[in-house]
Amino acid sequence: MTVSIGDKIPEATLIEMTADGPVKRTTSEIFGGRKVVLFSVPGAFTPTCSAKHLPGFVSHAAAFKEKGVDEIVCIAVNDAFVMGAWGKDQNAEGKVTLLADGNAEFTRALGLEMDASGYGMGLRGQRFAMIVEDGVIKQLNVEAPGEFRVSSAEHVLSQL
């Protein structure tokens, strides 16, 4: 079942690549007592994700901070090493935190997984964005297959 506005973020552990290597972060530490914008991409280094989705959040990071957002988090069903390399490639450091959901446990707990086997990508996360305040989903924007509108940085910024 897919999460809805008003639901609490499920408990899970995600992985962040740091200068000291991979570090586990729990959803309670990421979302508890904070305002966080979370967005999901089907995969690091994929065309729309690299050309539009992540760059939009990187370029608008200051505007999100001005609206009271404590952290912008991007997740993908990729490993932490790939997410770390993608973050460097996209100049995301200090603007967007890239977290790996390598086994799709968090994505499945949200009910927002998709089967991308037809593209040779296996189980992935749908393209979505949400605003979370103190662990509760306040806005949820899930893209229709093949679209990129409601999960864009500009659209999410307009909801704050």
* Residue 5 CB partners (closer than 8 Å, separation 6+): 137, 138, 139, 140
Among 12, 17, 30, 49, which one carries the catalytic annotation? Answer: 49
Query: Is 74 considered catalytic here?
Result: no
Q: How many separate helices (H) and strands (E) can be counted in the chain?
A: 7, 9
Q: Report the amino acid identity of residue 39.
A: F
DSSP annotation of 118: G
Closest alpha carbon to 91 in 64, 62, 54: 54
Kindly report the number of other CB atoms within 10 A of residue 124's CB atom: 24
Catalytic site residues? 49
